Structure 1
Amino acid sequence: MTETVIRTEDNLLTLINVFEVEASKQDELVALLNEGVEKVFRHRPGFVSATVLVGKDGTKVVNLAQWRSQEDIQATLADPAAQEYGRKTAALGKPAPGVYSVASVFGAA
């Protein structure tokens, strides 16, 4: 089973990209993100996991990807194949990417 685990002690970086998308294009954007992960991103050095979330109102898609280092993220973003997926996804929805580290994690009491 593949899963995304979020823990402060893992010292991973998380790239979170929130896309604003027309509801009619949400499924197409999800399919394209999934294709990019399968064909390119998961094979890159430093890749740990990816999770794609969809807004229930149809207007948002979130791509949450964990990486080992900022250098791994930068090298991937410089890869022509990754850049091509970036262009394709930006044509479907307005991206707002950011890189984050985990400050804290809480579970149910």
Structure 2
Amino acid sequence: MTMICKEQPLVTLINIFTVAPEQQKALLDNLIKVTQEIMYKQPGFISANLHKSLDGTKVTNYAQWRSRADFEAMLQNPEVRQHIRQASQIAISAEPTLYEVSFIAQSD
């Protein structure tokens, strides 16, 4: 389950894909399939949340991993590397970046 908490020692991947509007659904379908079939089974995987922009030009993956080492190990998996190639063929560009939580504000 996704929990945004400053005290949790985890890393967050935010990957912003740019797509042609007619390709948004194809990329989203691909990311959902890969998350369910491959990512979910990777050591250190916590959660993934996929978002689509209302204008059809972006798909954003907000994923949490137990550690940077787990995330980097996942990138060495041949199945994952194949997925990255497939997503790259659909998207115009991707901007994967690792983050840590710095501040949280919530209403009551």
Q: TM-score range by the shorter chain?
A: over 0.9
1:95 aligns with 2:85: no
Q: Larger % of helix: which?
A: 1
Corresponding residue SS for 1:9: coil
Return the TM-score normalized by structure 2.
0.96
Q: Is the 8 A contact 1:46 1:72 kept in 2?
A: yes
Q: Which residue does 2:47 correspond to in 1?
A: 49
> In the aligned structure 1, how far is the partner of 2:107 from the partner of 2:39?
32
Percent sequence identity is 35
Partner of 2:67: 69
Q: How many residues align?
A: 107
> Any runs of at least 4 consecutive aligned residues in structure 1 with deviations exceeding 3 A, and if so which?
none
What is the one-letter code of the residue matched to 1:45?
Answer: P
CA deviation map 1:78-102 (0-9, x unaligned): 0000011101011111111000000
Structure 1 spans left out of the alignment, 5+ residues: none
Query: 2:90, 2:41 → 1: CA distance?
Result: 24
Instruction: Provide the rounded CA distance (Å) in 2 between the counterparts of 1:86 and 1:23.
Output: 20
Q: TM-score, normalised by structure 1?
A: 0.95
